[in-house]
Chain A
Amino acid sequence: MNIRERTANNATVLHVEGDITYATRATFKTAIEKARYAGCRNMIINMEQVRFVDSSGLGLLALVAHAFRAGQGRFSLLNPQPYVREIMNLANIHTLIPIYSREEDALAGRTELAVT
């Protein structure tokens, strides 16, 4: 797994490359926690390069979503691939984490544009 961090407006965008699974969750969690400790209140995970999310990966996303929600922060996903989107839909993730197709919508947090 390869994670690139970028700041856009007031948000931290993490470009994730590779699978979010049981095997990679420590790396993923560390990258997210690093940004949170640095004060990030609006995090966007760019999922374009993520081929697969397993059950551990989903759990981690839910956990992170809860943490941001508890801290009045925002957490959203950008452009998951069709198979990943299908896995997420089956677990109803889109009702917990907004999923966007365009980064500017994610940055603005426009709930009406979140796609299901």
Chain B
Amino acid sequence: MATEAHEQARSWQVAALSEVTVVIIDDEPVSRMTMAARLRKMGHRVLEADNGRKGLDLIRRERPHLAVVDWLMPEVDGPTLCQLVRQDRELKSVQLLLMTSNDRPAQIAEGLQRGADDFLSKAASKEEIFARVYAGVRASALVRDIEAAKDELSRYNRLLKDKQEELEAELRSAARFVESLLPAEGSPVAGTSIAWQFVPSLALGGDLFGISRCGNEDLCLFMLDASGHGVSAALRAASMNTFLHPDTLAQVVGSTEPGAVLTEANRRFPLTADGDYFTLWWGRLHVPSRRLTFASAGHAGAMVSRSGGASNWLNSPTFPLGFDPSAAFQSQRIELEPRDRLLLMSDGMYEVPSPQGDLWGRTRLLDAITSGRDLPLPACLRVCLEAARRWRGQPDFPDDVALVGIELS
């Protein structure tokens, strides 16, 4: 019997029979004590109450697996007690066994309707009592299991949400840092005006651009894209930003000549073990002569929009940094005219997918820049960004979007 009882305990998912608490609520002492004695013999912890009100308090306090409740009691009777227990969400796992001396179907129906889980006739045999108590405890153990699983799920859910928020906060702070590195709009060197649009993606893309004075007559410009996303891309972009500072370049490269800058950057920033790398466009604009010298390492986002209306990309295929450790990058040179515009952009500016997955593409961007030629520079950039956003069909972009314009006066 003892082994059998332990088997039962296992099947109820409780550690021991003594962990099963049963409350007996009956105003009639003899019947109550007889039932209590029988259940104690089964190995359970048994608590007693001699009226409905005390019984309800006991159930609320002890949260038993099972309550055996007499139908007829003064003040709060059995069915009312069942009803009160069922109204309490905290007591879902308590199984209610309603005890009655007569078992007319109408009465049984009423008892079930008001919240009882099962019935027990006062004339029931010892075996029947055991069977119904077992069934009640098993059901209660199941409800407890489900509630425990639900609790655990909501705990994990909370944990996940917290982690997610933490991550997003980190990304936001990294994005703020990247934005703090961006240049001021306006006119850093007389004879030029600068405007830009930058929309960091939710996933933080690692794009960065810079404009700084080199000496009195030159403007150094770069557009950088660290491959990958997230904090690691932003950190790598920030480290490259330090390298590209004119003071650093003066020390480690000895010049701001574009080919030399890129060749040194290529040597210093090899492909990472994860295949991450930079594409970089570096240019130097001699403002008095309007001569632009530039070099590109796999960065295809440079365009000239001529004052006459034509626009063209400044592309020649080159490796991104780190693809070929021995690569030597060459400078190219073009002459600009007054009112010509130089535009630098991240690939996120044209690799914009529509809701159907089609990309906006370089041709549409070129057309947008060309048709914005008559607008002031800041408005032209804004209009391009709006066109990309319309194509996208939603306000955010999958990658960082950067668009920088420099106009010569």
Whether chains A and B associate is yes
Chain A contacts for B229, CB-based, 8 A: 22
**With a CB–CB cut-off of 8 A, which chain A residues contact B287?**
none
Say whether B271 faces chain A, with CB atoms less than 8 Å apart.
yes
> Hey, what's the 0/1 contact readout for B316-342 against A, CB within 8 Å counting as 1?
011110111000000000000000000
Q: Which of A51, A52, A58, A64 sits near B227, CB closer than 8 Å?
A: A58
- From B274, B276, B319, B399, A91 is in contact (CB under 8 Å) with B319
Pick the residue among B225, B228, B315, B357 that contacts A51 (CB under 8 A).
B357
Cα distance A66–B227 when bound, in Å? 18
Which residues from B are CB-within-8-Å of A94? Answer: 317
- Nearest Cβ distance between residue A56 and chain B, in whole angstroms? 5
Tell me whether A59 and B315 are in contact (CB under 8 A).
Answer: no
Residues of B252-288 at the interface with A, using a CB-CB cut-off of 8 Å, are: 271, 274-277, 279
**For the complex, what is the distance from the CA of A30 to the CA of B308, rounded to whole Å?**
51
Cα A39 to Cα B257 in complex, Å, equals 45
Minimal Cβ-Cβ distance residue in A for B315: A90
A56 to B229, CA, bound (A): 9
Ordered nearest first, which 9 A-B pairs have the shortest CB separation?
A: A63-B275, A59-B275, A55-B227, A90-B300, A92-B317, A91-B298, A60-B275, A92-B319, A62-B323
Judging by beta carbons under 8 Å apart, are B357 and A62 in contact? no
Question: Which A residues have a C-beta under 8 Å from some C-beta of B?
Answer: 22, 25, 29, 51-52, 54-56, 58-60, 62-64, 66, 83, 86, 89-92, 94-96
Assess the B277–A62 pair: CB atoms within 8 A. Answer: yes
* B347 part of interface (Cβ distance < 8 Å): yes
Binding site for A on B (CB under 8 A): 225, 227-229, 271, 274-277, 279, 298, 300, 315, 317-320, 322-324, 347, 351, 357, 359, 361-362, 399
In contact, B351 and A62 (Cβ under 8 angstroms): no
* Consensus secondary structure, chain A interface: helix
Q: B324 to A96, Cβ gap below 8 A?
A: yes
Q: Is the CB of B275 within 8 A of A56?
A: yes
State the Cβ distance, A42 to closest chain B Cβ, in Å.
21
Chain A, Cβ-Cβ closest to B358:
A51
Q: Is A59 a contact partner of B317 (Cβ separation < 8 A)? A: no
Known: A22-B229, A90-B300, A91-B317. A59 touches B277 (CB 8 A): yes
Q: How many A-B residue pairs have CB under 8 A?
A: 73
Q: Which of A29, A56, A83, A86 contacts B276 (CB 8 A)?
A: A56
Closest to B206 in A: A55
A25 to B323, CA, bound (A): 18
Q: Is the CB of B319 within 8 A of A59?
A: no
Q: Which residue of B lies closest to A91 (CB)?
A: B298
Contacts of B275 in A (CB 8 A): 25, 29, 56, 59-60, 62-64
When C-beta atoms are compared, the residue in chain A nearest to B301 turns out to be A90
Separation of A92 and B279 alpha carbons in the complex (Å): 12
The contact of A55 among B225, B319, B357, by CB within 8 Å, is: B225
A-B contact pairs, 10 of them (CB 8 A): A54-B227, A55-B277, A59-B227, A59-B320, A62-B320, A63-B274, A66-B271, A90-B300, A90-B317, A96-B323
Q: How far is the CA of A51 from the CA of B324 in the complex (A)?
A: 26
Task: Tell me which of B277, B298, B318, B359 contacts A52 (CB under 8 A).
Answer: B359
A95 to chain B, nearest CB (A): 8
Is A58 a contact partner of B357 (Cβ separation < 8 A)? Answer: no
> Does the CB pair B359–A96 fall under 8 Å?
no
Contact A56 B319 (CB under 8 A): no
Q: Is the CB of A59 within 8 A of B357?
A: no
Contacts of A95 in B (CB 8 A): 317, 319
B208 → A minimal CB distance (Å) = 14
B324 nearest CB neighbor, chain A only? A96
B228 in contact with A56 (CB, 8 Å): yes
